[in-house]
Amino acid sequence: MARRQRESVASLLTSILGTIVFGVLLIAFLPAILAMSTRLAMTPEPSGVNWTPVDASTCLATSQNLRGWPDDKGGLVTRVAVGMSDDVKSARPLAAKAARDFAGRVSALHAPGAEKQLAVLETEFAQAAIAFGEPMTASEFRAEYRKIGRLSLALTTQCHAVGQWVQDHYKQ
């Protein structure tokens, strides 16, 4: 009977020790596994397209050119959008003009590998110019502003993925 209890205690200790070791290994390697899986998920496949370093830098330059929306450097549009002001009535015309300006800017730009994201952003700028031209609440203003920010981030993310693909696959 005493032998069986010792075996049971030894089995329990082994089980606990194994769980602790597994937990430590999981904690140690989980961030690396997640980073690798994210990188693999975000890096586009070539789909028959062989991007070049010029494509990657063009795409990145385009995303950087559009990153500055609304280009008011902390002005009224940005203050209303981040909740520092509620003067939507004065900010709407400025935001509508900025959206029209950026829609025009987008139409002249190219983003190899991120054409879809660029087209969606161009459409959103045009729609935002119309939306900002109409009366809206502060919440609606902020939601429209955030939507442009999300789409701009999607373009930047895709352009970085194209750059990563070029680094991984372009042979010189």
Alpha-carbon distance 59 to 136, whole Å?
34
Alpha-carbon distance 107 to 126, whole Å?
11
Q: Are residues 73 and 118 both part of a single domain?
A: yes
Domain that holds residue 21: 1-42
Q: How far is CA 170 from CA 38, 47, 59, 69, 112, in A?
A: 21, 14, 16, 32, 15
Q: Are residues 105 and 58 both part of a single domain?
A: yes
Q: Are residues 119 and 164 both part of a single domain?
A: yes
Question: Is residue 162 a contact partner of residue 114, using CB atoms and an 8 Å limit?
Answer: yes
3-state secondary structure (DSSP) of residue 109: coil
Q: Please give the pLDDT value at position 128.
A: 95
Q: Please give the pLDDT value at position 35.
A: 65
Of 81, 127, 82, residue with least CA distance to 102: 127
Q: Are residues 86 and 158 both part of a single domain?
A: yes
Q: Are residues 4 and 88 both part of a single domain?
A: no
Q: Please give the pLDDT value at position 100.
A: 94
Q: Please give the pLDDT value at position 96.
A: 95
Non-local (6+) Cβ contacts of 25 within 8 A are none
- Burial of 154 from C-beta contacts in 10 A (0-12 / 13-18 / 19+): middle
Q: Which stretches of the chain drop beneath a pLDDT of 50?
A: 46
Q: Please give the pLDDT value at position 130.
A: 96
The number of distinct structural domains making up the chain is 2
Q: Please give the pLDDT value at position 168.
A: 86
Q: Per the structure block, which two tokens stand in for 167?
A: 């680094």
Alpha-carbon distance 53 to 64, whole Å?
16
Q: Are residues 125 and 66 both part of a single domain?
A: yes
Q: Please give the pLDDT value at position 87.
A: 93
Q: Are residues 66 and 2 both part of a single domain?
A: no
Asked whether the CA dihedral 94, 100, 105, 110 is positive or negative, the reply is positive
Q: Are residues 158 and 76 both part of a single domain?
A: yes
Q: Are residues 32 and 79 both part of a single domain?
A: no
Q: Are residues 55 and 121 both part of a single domain?
A: yes
pTM for the full predicted model: 0.69
Q: Are residues 92 and 164 both part of a single domain?
A: yes
